Chain A
């Protein structure tokens, strides 16, 4: 019995797509929420400084915080991308190993 390369590629694609479909939608939702919230926060702080509603006591804190928020937003994106790649990788490996086990009849330890 030989390994069916065409079927294997199809199975890997199906397994990886199943992981990515859900995760990419969640990542896009997170990205959109964060971009909107950070833009609104920037507008609030700008207006607050202009009117004096953001006082001397908090001005620098809020200005610094905008940079920190954007940086951690991008790091969170990288973090969730890592998890998605991990899931996609594991899905692909599982399909390949299952296919090899079927052909060889040897149980591969994962």
Chain B
């Protein structure tokens, strides 16, 4: 894993830019766009829902009982609806396609980095996974309640995916 990640280091990126610059010619075009546009409303929504979902997890950190599920249902549904909407918003942006992007993907693939599927946006995938996690959590809570470990594991999953979504969206603000 470390070997793979080391391939993204500075020298590697400089090499990719130089090789592409020479092979395609720096003057073949103007500036390029390889990733979707930054969306300020989406970024703000992400920050807001990050806070809301972490507050929710803090409240039920010790697990839950199915008997008290109806008290939590409105909050579950609110969070699920909000993350579903954010995933849609993230996915709705056009993803640029051009010759330089194809070459960049080939160069990254040669270095063992998994290539995104055509049109795939990693933050949208992360947000969809958060939505699915919250749906599973809600359904389990309703059926049998949550143990302390299950509650922590659901929180852990959401945190990891939120970090992926936030990091990618922050990068798009260039």
Contacts and interface: CB of A to CB of B under 8 A. Distances in A.
B152 A44 contact: yes
A73 B164 contact: yes
Nearest to B150: A58
A75 to B, nearest CB: 5
Interface string A58-94: 1001100100110111111111111111111110111
Given A20-B10, A31-B5, A58-B150, A86 B161 contact: no
Contacts of A54: 147, 149-150, 153
B167 interface: yes
Contacts of A16: 14, 17
B150 A76 contact: no
Contacts of A27: 8
A82 to B, nearest CB: 5
Contact of A37 (B9, B108, B163, B171): B163
Main secondary structure of the interface of A (DSSP, over half): helix
A36 to B, nearest CB: 10
Contacts of A105: none
Contacts of A110: 30-31
Main secondary structure of the interface of B (DSSP, over half): helix
Contact of A82 (B30, B34, B129): B34
A107 to B, nearest CB: 13
Contacts of A26: 167, 171
Interface residues of B, number: 59
Given A44-B156, A79-B122, A34 B163 contact: yes
A72 B147 contact: no
Contact of A62 (B34, B144, B153, B161): B153
Given A82-B101, A96-B27, A48 B10 contact: no
B116 to A, nearest CB: 5
B149 A79 contact: no
A90 B32 contact: yes
Contact of B34 (A38, A48, A72, A85): A85
Given A80-B167, A89-B17, 16 more contacts: A34-B164, A41-B157, A51-B149, A57-B144, A58-B153, A69-B129, A69-B161, A76-B122, A79-B116, A80-B168, A81-B8, A85-B34, A88-B14, A92-B26, A93-B31, A109-B30
